[in-house]
Amino acid sequence: MIGLLYRAAGAIRRRLYADDHGRVGEDLAHRFLRRKGCKVVARNFRSRSGAGEIDLVAWDGAALAFVEVKTRSSEVCGAPEAAVDAEKRMAIERTAREYARRSGVEWDKTRFDIVSVVLQHPVRIEWLRDAFR
């Protein structure tokens, strides 16, 4: 029953935010990670300074994953994950350190993942674990 409600809410959001690929991609990535057994504990976490944002924060077993979601309508301009450059990685890491410190999570129990979403038919979702190494 709850699955039906999530699917209906997702369909409504896709219609309302049809031009907002980022939001649609984050919704799809969120559901994808939950189906893979992750427990999503935060969405769109922003540091107090406002200098960075983490799309999703999720527990994957004993590891806390800071997830960057990249969404494209096609791969004509390249793979979505290629858009995560060194500057973006530094901003995500700075924000992740603040999250870990505030929540009391040891830094060695964290990692950085990328979920790549291509909104073609069928939708392609790829999860790159430990993507920053």
The DSSP-derived string for 70-95 is: EEES-STT--GGGG--HHHHHHHHHH
Residue 10 included in any domain = no
Write down the pTM of the prediction.
0.83
Residue 9 included in any domain = no
Residue 12 included in any domain = no
Residue 36 included in any domain = yes
Total number of domains constituting the chain: 1
Query: Domain of 114?
Result: 21-128
Q: Tens digit of pLDDT per residue, the chain (133 long)?
A: 666 766 676 666 555 545 667 788 999 999 999 999 999 999 999 988 877 899 999 999 999 999 999 988 887 777 888 888 889 999 999 999 999 999 999 999 999 999 999 998 899 999 999 998 7
CA distance 77 to 101: 37
Residue 43 included in any domain = yes
Residue 133 included in any domain = no
Residue 118 included in any domain = yes
